[in-house]
Amino acid sequence: MLPRVASRAGGCALLLALTVFQPATRAQTATPPKTRNVVLIVSDGLRWQEIFTGADPSLMNEKNGGIWDKEQELRREFWRADADERRKALFPFLWTTVAARGQIFGNQTKGSIARVTNGFAFSYPGYNEMLSGHPDPRINSNEFGPNPNLTVFEWLNGLPDLHGRVSVYATWQTFKDIFNVRRSNLPLQVGWDLPYRGKLTPRQELVNQLYRFTTRLDDGDVYNAFLQIPLLDSLREQQPRVLFVGYDLVLHSAHLFDHFVGELWNTLQGLSAYRDQTTFIITTDHGRGSGPIDWKEHGVEQPGSENIWIAVLGPDTRALGERTHTAQLSQAQIAATVAALLGKDYRQAVPAAAAPIAEVLASAP
């Protein structure tokens, strides 16, 4: 399980990259993808161990997990003797919908390996790797500053048929640097920036008031529930193309992450522009250590932090479920996969980018 941790290491971020194509603008490929929308969802630091085996009983206590008042309640809610049932209790949408109708990689006990390749295994280097398609040894700190690398979303936004169709929602202020907003000009809603402008409804003004006057736990991270309101509004009203949302990492928030992914999927399936034309890619930016102490930490000095998981659900991805004994995947493959699902070749623009994940594409044998 994932109890609370008082640091950026305990943050859980959700990146939703939603890009919509009109049929007339799609690239001509040998096997045109059915996907017209891609949603990239990134949960910051969510370990593969919890994804595949559910809540860890050794961490369901005050000593190892920092749980001082609700241990029995959490056990009732998330503990099951069987690992398959336990993971389904924690991540019901992931295991009843995504794994049932798509593919999920990264269960090392079954010979499926997915890893970061940046050599740092923490947030900024991980987001750069997955968004630009390659690691960058210069990016060695979460305070690195503006990203010098072209991300796949900046590139997509620069295409004539996609310009103005990409935006970012995030709780973590640092995504202004990760997406290099000054260069990319991507519209971002991040941190404690007010979400609504112009002539406001009473509801919108209330949300803005909450942003202004709520006591902040962290000046760089807005509360999950606050950001979710303008995020869902934008989906229903404006159909934005790229979204980023962050959550604090506690057990209930991991469960809420799954709930939010399911809510987003169901919302999009209810809209004709997205129904049966949308692919979700769900993953994490880095792993963590193991055991009662080391699970709290991550980074190159913490063995296991390089291990991640990747799940894909959409019309071009065969329903093969939990993958076993697969070729090793890398975080760097995600950028080109986002583009390939939309009929675009990101590697023409960024030759250093890793190849897309062939197994989740319609053209895969």
340 found inside a domain: yes
3 found inside a domain: no
Nearest CA to 147 out of 166, 133, 161, 162 is that of: 133
pLDDT single digits (tens) 56-80: 776 554 444 445 456 567 778 888 8
342 found inside a domain: yes
Q: Mean pLDDT, to the nearest integer, of 129-152?
A: 97
pLDDT of residue 295: 44
* Highest-pLDDT range among 4-8, 90-94, 255-259, 262-266: 90-94
CB atoms within 10 A of CB 96: 12
Q: Mean pLDDT, to the nearest integer, of 141-150?
A: 97
DSSP string, 43-97: -TT--HHHHHH-S-GGGSSHHHH---S-HHHHHHHH--SSHHHHHHHH-HHIIII
Cα separation values, 59 from 67, 71, 251, Å:
8, 10, 10
Provide the number of structural domains found in the chain: 1
223 found inside a domain: yes
> What's the rounded Cα separation, in Å, for the pair 69 and 125?
35
Sign of CA dihedral 155, 345, 240, 18: negative
Domain extent for 174: 8-360
In the DSSP assignment, the letter for residue 151 is P
Tell me the three state secondary structure of residue 279: strand
CA angle 126, 183, 234 (to 5 degrees): 75
pLDDT of residue 124: 95
Nearest CA to 312 out of 20, 107, 131, 103 is that of: 103
pLDDT of residue 28: 43
100 found inside a domain: yes
By CB atoms closer than 10 A (0-12, 13-18, 19+), residue 7 is exposed
Instruction: pLDDT band for 246, please (50, 70, 90 cuts).
Output: low
Residue keyed to tokens 């065969």: 318
Residue keyed to tokens 């798509």: 102
User: CATH number of the domain that 291 lies in?
Assistant: 3.40.720.10
1 found inside a domain: no
Least confident of 29-38, 113-122, 127-136: 29-38
Cα separation values, 298 from 44, 145, 211, 261, Å:
11, 21, 31, 25
Nearest CA to 326 out of 107, 55, 91 is that of: 107
Cα separation values, 134 from 172, 200, 201, 205, Å:
22, 42, 43, 41
Q: Which two tokens stand for residue 112?
A: 């499926």
Q: Mean pLDDT, to the nearest integer, of 119-148?
A: 96
365 found inside a domain: no
2 found inside a domain: no
